[in-house]
Amino acid sequence: MRTRWIWVLWLLGLALAASYPLTATDDLGHRVRLDREPRRIVVMLPSATETLCALGACDRIVGTDDFSNWPEAVKKLPKLGGLYNPSVEKIVALKPDLVIASPYGKLAPALARVGIPVFVVKTETYDDIFKTARELGRLVGREAQAEALVARIRAQVYALESKAAKSKTRPTVYYEIDATPYTVGPDSFIGVLIQKARGRNIIPRNLGLFPKISPELVVAKNPEVIVLGDAPYGVTYAKIKARPGWAGIRAVRDRRVCELTKAETDVVHRPGPRVAEGLRVLIRCIHPEVLR
């Protein structure tokens, strides 16, 4: 029986294997043609770096953005700038046959002008995590691995969601990305994780996925839990308590303010293969009792 399943999986891998030349449509609607399987890849957003490595293509990455730091192997790769300050010259010098980029900034048009294939991924919702894994899997000839990754992530999330479901309460939650303040809407991938952690996001859905809001909205909504995704950049319980009107918010009054570490913000803010770790962080903030 075991031999039979090995053959089934092998045949499935053959069926899903990409053939080249390959043409794919990215998340900006641009058609990208690859004449052969890419072997020198530059990745300019951390979640895509993590996804490619989870697909078994880490050895093909020749350079990344400044913030890609997982897995350990990517730390030693050339760093090529951030979202708004990428070094086109350094990227071109690496002679990539594929660049994975964000839709924000002006990198994609600049590289397209010199003939380097650029595939743009926009991963903002929970479902986008799985769409991106499949897209990248197809580009690098790892479609079977992408399906396995999707199944693994879903199983990990389900296991944690089941633990959170043991809680009888569903407190209201405010998640702060930065002190502007920017936050997360219910339909963003972080918003969905809050829901899976049995929290109720205070941000109205009609404000969008990652809205800039007024501090007065948080005061008016009076959340029971506050999660500070900007804590690694100096935002603390003491600082938000000093904001006008915030001392009376239930989360502040009851000291239910969760200050995330840099490692914790990495897994919460990156819509990639470690999303279940991000969910665990949020459960610890909202329902720590279920993880004991």
- All structural domains of the chain, each given as residue ranges with its CATH number in brackets, are 18-141 (3.40.50.1980), 167-291 (3.40.50.1980)
Numbers of helices and strands, H then E, in the chain? 12, 11
Q: Helix 275-286 vs helix 143-164: angle between axes, to the nearest 10 degrees?
A: 10
0.95 surpassed by pTM: no
In three-state secondary structure terms, 78 is coil
Per-residue pLDDT of the chain (292 residues; tens, 9 = 90+): 544 544 444 445 444 566 999 999 999 999 999 999 999 999 999 999 999 999 999 999 999 999 999 999 999 999 999 999 999 999 999 999 999 999 998 898 899 889 999 999 999 999 999 999 999 999 999 999 999 999 999 999 999 999 999 999 999 999 999 999 999 999 999 999 999 999 999 999 999 999 999 999 999 999 999 999 999 999 999 999 999 999 999 999 999 999 999 999 999 999 999 999 999 999 999 999 999 7
Spatial CB neighbours of 146, under 8 Å, sequence gap ≥ 6: 55, 133, 134, 136, 137, 138
Q: Indicate the Cα dihedral angle 129, 132, 137, 139, nearest 10°.
A: -170
